[in-house]
Amino acid sequence: MSLNNRLPWNTAWITGAGRGIGAELTRLLCSHGVTVYGSARTTEQLHQLQQELSNTTGKLIPVPLDIRDPDAVQQLFIEWDRQNFMPDLVVLNAGSHDPFSAYEFSAQRCKDLLDINLQGTINCLDPVLYRYLHRSEYGPDYGPDYGPDYGPEDKSESGSERQPETLKAVSLNPVAKRTLTGTRQIAVVSSSAGYRGLPTAAAYGAGKAALINLCESLRLDLQGSGVKLQLINPGFVRTPLTDKNEFSMPALMEPDEAARRIVKGLLSDRFEIVFPRRFVYLLKLFRLLPYNVYFWLIGKATGASKDE
Ligand SMILES: NC(=O)c1ccc[n+]([C@@H]2O[C@H](COP(=O)([O-])OP(=O)(O)OC[C@H]3O[C@@H](n4cnc5c(N)ncnc54)[C@H](OP(=O)(O)O)[C@@H]3O)[C@@H](O)[C@H]2O)c1
């Protein structure tokens, strides 16, 4: 798939941009002129990627962040408010996995995973939805150097008098009219593992299933608002996260191809973006199976039924 056309976003915020799918998406967007604000906890990975992308037409601006910390997420947006900035595209991709079976079940391990995959994503959705739906300040009155920079190159409006102390201090408008390019687009990365229960994935699958339901619900609420919300449900993609898997992963996709599929999906009007299609469609079909057939099939396919 080629991406010959100019992309409709000037700026994007991607969580989990330090490696894996988020890093590949950052590479692709930067190579098409997008300024990407990339978040992750590991600052070195963000800086390495920034260096790698220094010759692209876009650029990566590292915004280190732990999405489990709601105050830190809110602070980032207060800083962006101060600089009259809001990204055109938001991709909430950060996530983790910790496979464990019923024999190792632990409330703490469930919480640790859900804190990132579910609550962390919610922490990010909160300030984004608030601004996309209630703020109208983000107009096209920006010069070519739109968006805040961090560090010595900072060209932001330091003279601006509008420096809200708290989110509640900023003025509300019932319907935001525009962001930088008029685009207000959010994509949430869940997983096809959220469709039905899979072995050793009780906590991972539960979090991803919750994200799917959450996005379906928000999508209905957002009808007519001008905010485009999409759900990304990948199958297996080769990343540091799946490198830990000891089983053979069917239809494993390379991350650069996954990034291309994501961008193609973001450019479409589809609510759900899935890849590799044949594998994910098969999992979708499995949702229709009665439990006894489903458990038998998955048990056979994964070896989980060997002890029965
Ligand atoms: N790979 C697959 O086969 C696959 C399949 C379906 C869905 N997914 C989903 O796709 C997304 C990306 O997965 P991936 O395979 O690219 O994983 P990955 O290679 O492990 O990358 C995950 C990224 O998320 C960041 N992250 C993790 N916890 C974070 C936190 N608390 N705050 C901020 N950033 C955090 C990581 O950086 P730090 O650790 O430095 O924070 C890293 O940059 C995840 O949501 C995953 O569930 C992946």
CB burial of 36-54 (b: ≥16 within 10 Å; e: otherwise) equals bbbbbbeeebbeebbeebe
**CA pair distance 78, 226, nearest whole angstrom:** 23
d(CA 216, CA 67): 22
Ligand 1 pocket, residues with Cβ under 6 angstroms: 15-16, 18-22, 39-42, 45, 65-68, 93-96, 116, 120, 189, 191, 234, 236-237, 239-242
Lowest-pLDDT choice from 59-63, 73-77, 132-136: 132-136
CATH number of 11-302: 3.40.50.720
* Interatomic CA distance for residues 12 and 263, integer angstroms: 12
Q: How confident is the model at residue 135 (pLDDT cuts 50, 70, 90)?
A: confident
Measured in Å, residue 269 CA sits from the centre of ligand 1 at 25
Q: Name the one residue in this structure whose structure tokens are 């589809």.
A: 270
> pLDDT band for position 3 (50/70/90)?
low
Task: Give the residue-averaged pLDDT of 138-167.
Answer: 42
Which amino acid is present at 271?
F
**What residue type is 216 in one-letter code?**
E
Residue 292 CA, ligand 1 centroid: distance in Å: 33
Residue with CA closest to ligand 1 atom 1: 237
Burial tier of 115 (Cβ tally within 10 Å: 0-12, 13-18, 19+): middle
pLDDT at 246: 79
Q: Which has more pLDDT, 248 or 160?
A: 248
> Which sequence spans correspond to the domains of the chain?
11-302
Cα–Cα distance, 160 to 141 (Å, whole number): 14
Label the pairing between strands 228-234 and 272-275: parallel
Question: With 60 as the cut, is the pLDDT of residue 170 above it?
Answer: no
Q: What is the pLDDT of residue 232?
A: 98
**Is omega for the bond preceding 140 within 30 degrees of 0, making it cis?**
no
Question: What residues have CB less than 8 Å from 98, skipping those under 6 apart?
Answer: 109, 112, 113, 203, 204
- pLDDT over 80 at 78, yes or no: yes
Nearest CA to 9 among 111, 86, 102?
A: 86
The single residue listed with the structure tokens 């055109």 is 88
Indicate the range of 11-15, 47-51, 247-251 predicted with least confidence: 247-251
Please state, for a pLDDT cut of 90, what percent of the chain lies above it.
76
CA distance 185 to 223: 13
Q: Which residue among 123, 239, 274 is best mutated to probe the pocket of ligand 1, counting the most ligand atoms within 8 A of its Cβ? A: 239
